[in-house]
Amino acid sequence: MAVGFISCTSMEKSHIITLSFDDGMKKSFYKTADIFEENDLHACLNVIASGHLAGFKLPNEYHTDPRGDFNDWNLLRKRGHEIMPHSWDHSDLTRMPPDQAKEDITKCLEYFEEHLEGFKVSEAVYNFAYNASNPDLEQFALSKVRAVRTGGESQVNPIPLKAGPVRFCCSSYGPDNADKWVEQQINGFLSSRGGWLVLNLHGLDEEGWGPVSSKFLEDLLKRLVKIENVEVLPAGELLKRSMA
């Protein structure tokens, strides 16, 4: 499946940063949204479709913190933040039979379409659980959504072109506090020629896998918004802008 790109030099900003928060911890996601709003930014929040349901089976100990539900996600979306799918139940789709994995993707997208106001599958970013995918699953997802986020060879991506589906990669760190790791990744990127850096984060303070501290996130965003050639954007917002 063809994916097109333009060089970062043709964009207004040479360095685009997406901090892509996963899993849907209620306390952390509201706090993350508040911190982004303090800097006139929109947060990139990815939630497990069934994470709030009574029958949700915890995939591991990092998912025990209270989840938000789609009342919360609709509220945060109305506040301007991006809410995107992060799987149906946080299964590793690469460990499932292909047909079952594709049903999982479809079920997730259908649930979002039914419960998240204004959600359009064709404009969505599907964020694979564990950043685990394969070409077959990516192609299937990209037949439905605008883009997929997965693991891969580099966390720095070319800035996407107007037309065509987009596969972009990210990196993450855990299970311990990720402040120092994020700082290292950001500083290395800022000293580079640019592109689109995508860091996969989770909760704040003590919540989730590889959390960052609230104070660190506050200070980081205050610093980044002052740098002339840098812009902090949710993935879907960047993609929508590139299509304008």
What ranges do the domains of the chain cover?
5-243
Q: What is the helix, strand, coil percentage profile of the chain, to 5? A: 40, 20, 40
Q: Mean pLDDT over all residues of the chain?
A: 92
201-215, pLDDT tens digit by residue?
A: 999 999 999 999 999
Determine the pLDDT at residue 160: 87
d(CA 148, CA 37): 26
Determine the pLDDT at residue 104: 98
d(CA 57, CA 25): 15
Position 37, amino acid:
E
Q: What's the token pair of residue 212?
A: 């960052």
d(CA 28, CA 18): 17
Whether a cis peptide bond, with omega within 30° of 0, leads into 66 is no
CATH for 5-243 (3.20.20.370, 3.40.50.300, 3.40.1260.10, 3.30.1360.70):
3.20.20.370
36-65, pLDDT tens digit by residue?
A: 999 999 999 999 999 998 887 877 776 778
Longest dimension (CA), the chain: 48
**pLDDT band at residue 8 under the 50/70/90 scheme:** very low
Mean pLDDT calculated for residue range 102-126: 98
131 and 94 in contact (C-beta within 8 Å)? Answer: no
Q: Where are the beta strands (DSSP E) in 29-151?
A: 44-47, 82-85, 125-127, 147-150
d(CA 27, CA 67): 8
More confident residue, 229 or 4: 229
**Residues pairing with 212 in the sheet:** 204
What count of residues does the chain have? 244
217 and 35 in contact (C-beta within 8 Å)? Answer: yes
pLDDT score of 122 more than 80: yes
- A 10 A CB-CB count for 91 gives 18
Percent of the chain, pLDDT > 70? 93
pLDDT score of 166 more than 90: yes
**pLDDT band at residue 244 under the 50/70/90 scheme:** low
